[in-house]
Amino acid sequence: MPDKMKRLALISVTDKTGVVEFAHGLVAHGFDILSTGGTAERLRGAGIPVTPVGEFTGQPEILDGRVKTLHPKIHGGLLGNPGRDMHRRQMEDYGIVPIEVLAVNLYPFEQTVMSGGSLAEAIENIDIGGPAMIRAAAKNADRVLVVVDPRDYPLVLGAADDNLRKRLQAKAFAHTAYYDSLIAEYLSSEAPSDPGDTLTVGMRLVNKLRYGENPHQDAGVYVRAFSPGGIPRADQLWGKQLSYNNFLDADAAWELALELQRGVGPAFVTVIVKHGNPCGAAWNKDPAESFHLARAGDPVSAFGGIVAIPGPLTMEAANAMTEKGNFFEVIIAGEISEQVLDVFKRRSGWGQDVRILRAPENSVGGYLAMRSIRGGVLVQDADVDDQKEWRTVTKAEPTEKQLWAMRRAWTIAKHVKSNAIVIASESRLMGVGAGQMNRVQSVRLAIEAAGSDVADCALASDAFFPFPDSIETAASAGIHAVVQPGGSKKDSDVIEAADRLGLCMVFTGARHFRH
């Protein structure tokens, strides 16, 4: 048993990084060490005197270790305040010794789930005693130093002032809140049900950014543990740190590229995004030609844009991208060899200004989309559309070529800021009208970007046409195929205009606003 006159520290950690050095430091400061299980073995192996918790409490670990620290001598030692007369008397009556330092981190629940562990294994890795001790110590932070992060061990061994105590207190509650949020998320996915009136979302910082959208804004990138894929999990192979805006544009490019890839099969897909909107997209059996076609959609906007290529980035595509006159902020691909990476490293004048990412393919299906507003968060299911409910509403039926172009245009329109109009051919994106306050203006911008050769192209609108004017504008430019959700009170007028002008029109039954 520890000397009652000595100071007590309790150490029980799953992550044993730095724990031996920390314990040595505590002993040097006059602490006796209490510990459990594997932590106690590690410390004894390093020659550090340790009192097992079971010996300290007089209660052995039971129920496969589920009950070992849930004892009045532990929680009384953490929660008691000898400065209060009643606390001091009761602690003396029940033989409770104050514990001044608690170092705990929790069972590896997250790692168990991420490694494919079963439900039973995940349940067994739900820590009970650890969170209880952390919360007890954090509640009593004026007297107890609570440490959940090995990076904080040196701070605790230094001068522990009130500011450090408050920081460790907040960090401790954040640690248990994150842990519990992962458990809630996992169990909800195992047995989906109404989550009730609360939403818990656990996120972990993976990238502290230099600044946000503008230099005066702080920013960082956080990931959700059980949401695989996405740009935050990409490996950066080359280039300087991504900016906040790079992440936004890279995400937009990668999401569209993967969705297009699923629709065009074995063809090589290239997507170019600028300021959140696609300015180029193409699909071709030749990877270099795919890039050239995508860039042709808007060569001016493509300069300094974000390029996404699902699957392998070939040598042919890399050589095409590094041709004179091209420059891109970020290039993303599913696979990049060292030889291909060297093409960009050697590109004269680019240096590390271009960032090269290897990104994992996202899981197919929905996810929870969130957007912050002052005072709260808007939450919705992600916009997923499988294109199954299409129906032709005009006398003219689309040809196979027109239907192919319609499907590509419709996919791209989903990724364009509203009001969104997209014109696409059988092989590439031709023109985009994005973010306008009225739909007919978006139609005009898309037509202007597409140029004169639109006879075999399809025009897609992210929402219904409220009046025939957009159809008339499209027809006057040579468009013969239109795809839109339908649902306007003026649908009959719009269909009549399309029939009168000889257009074919398909209603999808789904809207794709993107604000």
Tell me if residue 71 is catalytic.
no
Residue type for position 458: A
Task: Output the CA torsion sign for 161, 167, 170, 176.
Answer: negative
Please, which residues bridge with residue 370 across strands?
A: 379
DSSP three-state, residue 47:
coil
**Residue 455, number of CB atoms within 10 A of its CB:** 11
Q: What does DSSP assign to residue 67?
A: B
Answer for the pair 311, 335: CB distance below 8 angstroms, yes or no. Answer: yes
189 phi and psi angles, rounded to 5 deg? -70, -30
Residue from 16, 71, 87, 139 carrying the catalytic annotation = 139
Backbone angles phi, psi at 10, to 5 degrees: -110, 125
Report DSSP state, residue 274: E
How many Cβ atoms are within 10 Å of 229's Cβ, its own excluded? Answer: 17
Catalytic residue among 24, 171, 275, 401: 275
Interacting residues of 7 by C-beta distance below 8 A, sequence separation 6+:
29, 30, 31, 32, 100, 101
Q: Contact at 8 Å (CB) between 291 and 320?
A: yes
Question: Helices (H) and strands (E) in the chain — how many of each?
Answer: 19, 21
Known catalytic membership, residue 515: no
| Beta bridge pairs of residue 284 | 268
- Of the candidates 360, 352, 349, 303, the residue with the CA atom closest to the CA atom of residue 326: 303
Structure tokens at 145: 């130093």
User: Which residues are designated catalytic?
Assistant: 139, 275
